[in-house]
Amino acid sequence: MANNKSAEKRNAQNLVRRSRNRARLSALRTQIKKVRTAVSAGDVETARSLLPETLGLIDRTATSGTIHRNAASRRKSRLQRLVNQAASDKS
């Protein structure tokens, strides 16, 4: 438990940051899941249309510090590769 005023403030800040990070991460996971679901359903056009929005969300999540920039890069790379492979299999 916080024993002084600065520790109480730090705890309050951490709670706010934690809730923001959880919301950002949840939104990111949901968006990635939409792309993966579209690919697995064979709907390459939907996946391609969702991809730019998803990549932007990954970048914003990394910029805010919720995920590491290398983790963001890895997620983007894997997602792009997934959509590209689905597109090449389709044609």
What is the homologous superfamily of the domain 5-90 according to CATH? Answer: Ribosomal protein S20 (1.20.58.110)
How far are the Cα atoms of 10, 13, 17, 19 from residue 1, in angstroms, in the given order?
11, 14, 18, 19
Mean pLDDT value across the chain: 96
pLDDT less than 70: residues of the chain = 91
* Contact by Cβ (8 Å): 28, 58: yes
pTM equals: 0.90
Query: What's residue 2's pLDDT?
Result: 84
Q: What are the domain boundaries of the chain?
A: 5-90
